[in-house]
Amino acid sequence: MHRNPDIAIVGGGLVGLSSALALQHPDRHICVIESSALQQQKSNGLDARSLALSYASVQIFKALGLWQELKKQASAIKTIHISSQGQWGVTRLRASDYDLEAMGYVIESSKLSAILLDHIQQSKLISLETGAEFESVDFAERVLLRYRRDKKRQKISAGLVLIADGAQSKARSSLGIEHRKIDYRQAAIITNVEVSQPVPGAAYERFTDHGPLAMLPLGRTAYACVWTHAPQSSERLMQLDDRQFIQSLQQCFGFRLGFIERIGQRYAFPLYRTEALTLIKNRCLLIGNAANTLHPVAGQGFNLALRDVACLNHLLAGRSIPALDENSIIRLLDEYETLRTAEQRSVASLGDGLVSLFSNDLPLLKQFRAGALALLDIIPPLKAEIAMSGMGFSFAGNPMLRGQMR
């Protein structure tokens, strides 16, 4: 392994692997440090975990030369139907209104990870240390990272370090960066379902008194379901057998996709938003969930992280890490924080606002949100602004959002 990479990335999840591929350059060597084994995973059908890629994320993967490969594994979102349970207001977003093939795509997390990992392993510019448990970080002329692998202590030094080890980041704690945590007092149940009357390319966001319910197309008759509830209600639903759970879900969602006929494995987890009080320290930069963990209502977590990566790639364009002294790197990271903080806060605030507006049963608020959805549907400029924001185009001007590296 290359002992002194130009860039080290702590965390080999989707964000860490995507970052390595985006930042690789003939003049740079990158090392990814990941605690798990990162073995290639096979698709597990109706039990698969999935995520939604915004149109901006598709453009970023095009810039990386990965999209044609990913597209074969993904399902297009051509329309988004937004409604409020028991109310009359509806908003419909259509890709064709903006001359787009799709507003986004849904892909199994394991398939995305496998493709990213395959390209990492093919790259001569990226080394991957798996089974490497992060221990500490220190600063000298470079950043010194210590980790344990095969029961042995290891260390490397790097000119720049990306911290991408998740919401409970050990590396963030080691840096002494504090974060605030907001408890939404909600839990998300995620599962996949098969329906009797699928609508090709249609995604659904349904707001209920308990919280949002999303149904995302996976192809053929399958949909990915994300259902938000209060923690106690979530526990009760998780204890139901499949037949009882399907009945509850059908009652909440309705019959726009016909009958829910089968269900995959269910997962439940509490929902929090975390926000690091700063994104940078010395030559280290927080990215992904280590920087911000968002409510899944708008499906923006991974997509926001990819736009962060695109920004960093743009700032590093044409720059050699070894040629940058400490002050130059710190100025570059300061510029990154200035550029990205505004959108990060905007996206987080949008999610918080949607949760507050659509997760309660006050009668007057029910009427207001029904009217708001109906009004949004008949005001094209406002609807276009919402659509562009959801597709990730509030971060304009970056070449990767045009599908280009430079």
Q: Could you write out the DSSP letters of every residue in 181-226? A: EEEEEEEEEEEEEEESS--TTEEEEEE-SS-EEEEEEEETTEEEEE
pLDDT recorded at residue 325: 81
Q: Return phi, psi of residue 103, to 5°.
A: -85, -20
CA distance 250 to 260: 7
Tell me the residue length of the chain: 406
pLDDT recorded at residue 353: 59
Terminal CA-to-CA distance of the chain, rounded, Å?
29
pLDDT, one tens digit per residue, over 108-137 is: 999 999 999 999 999 999 999 999 999 999
pLDDT recorded at residue 89: 65
- Mean pLDDT for 223-229 is 93
pLDDT recorded at residue 356: 59
Greater model confidence, 245 or 362: 245
Please tell me what DSSP assigns to residue 13: S
Q: List strand residue ranges (DSSP E) for 220-322, in order.
A: 222-229, 260-263, 267-276, 280-281, 284-286, 292-293
Lowest mean pLDDT among 40-44, 53-57, 98-102, 270-274: 40-44
Cβ(283)–Cβ(259) below 8 Å: no
Going by pLDDT thresholds of 50, 70 and 90, the confidence category of residue 367 is: low
CA distance 67 to 362: 44
pLDDT recorded at residue 326: 81
Residue 355 clears pLDDT 90, i.e. is over it: no
CA distance 120 to 126: 6
- Output the average pLDDT for the chain: 87
Lowest mean pLDDT among 145-154, 260-269, 340-349, 353-362: 353-362
CA-nearest of 206, 183, 356 to 270 is 183
pLDDT, one tens digit per residue, over 330-354 is: 899 999 999 898 888 877 766 665 6
Residue 313 clears pLDDT 70, i.e. is over it: yes
pLDDT recorded at residue 141: 81
Which uninterrupted H or E stretch holds 64?
none
> Domain residue spans in the chain?
7-181+272-402
Greater model confidence, 269 or 349: 269
CA distance 189 to 211: 11
CATH (one of 3.90.1140.10, 3.50.50.60, 3.30.930.10, 3.20.190.10) for 7-181+272-402: 3.50.50.60
CA distance 330 to 335: 9
pLDDT recorded at residue 115: 96
- Mean pLDDT for 25-54 is 85
Which uninterrupted H or E stretch holds 362?
none
Residue 364 clears pLDDT 70, i.e. is over it: no
pLDDT, one tens digit per residue, over 66-106 is: 999 999 999 999 999 888 766 656 788 899 988 999 999 99
b/e sequence 17-55, b meaning 16+ C-beta within 10 Å: bbbbbbbbbeebbbbbbbbeebeeeeeeeeebbbbbbbb
* pTM of the predicted protein model: 0.89
CA distance 404 to 22: 11
Cβ(32)–Cβ(120) below 8 Å: yes
pLDDT, one tens digit per residue, over 244-263 is: 999 999 999 999 999 999 99
Greater model confidence, 323 or 190: 190
CA distance 340 to 336: 6
pLDDT recorded at residue 359: 56
